[in-house]
Amino acid sequence: MARETAEERALRLDLTELALAEGAPLIGGVPERWLQRPRFRCTNFHVADRYSVGRRGRISCIFCDLPVQQTFPEDRSGPLARTDGGLPALRTRGDANEADESHRAQYSSRPPR
């Protein structure tokens, strides 16, 4: 099994912190509501509702083949939102749209909308 990178560990810890902050009972390490509409996030800021499975059973991002972690149902591609204290936070739709525009502008040659 491949070793966990620093980025993967940071993502795992951020998502664990979000899961614990919800205060709901955990099933398999995530709140039950996360299981109702599963989403998966990789360290390249991709979020999807499905993943690919490698020959050795490793679940990977459908876009870039990096390992994924289960995330909250409202999550969208782009960096995780942060509180003023630097802690991970759930994003609202407006925050997500703003982060998407920022991410798109950073990695695209097209002008922002």
Instruction: Give the pLDDT of residue 4.
Output: 86
pTM score of the predicted model: 0.71
pLDDT tens sequence across 28-47: 889 999 999 999 999 999 99
Instruction: Give the pLDDT of residue 35.
Output: 93
Instruction: Give the pLDDT of residue 78.
Output: 87
Q: Which parts of the chain register pLDDT below 50?
A: 92, 96, 103-104, 106-112
Query: Could you give the 3-state DSSP secondary structure of residue 48?
Result: strand
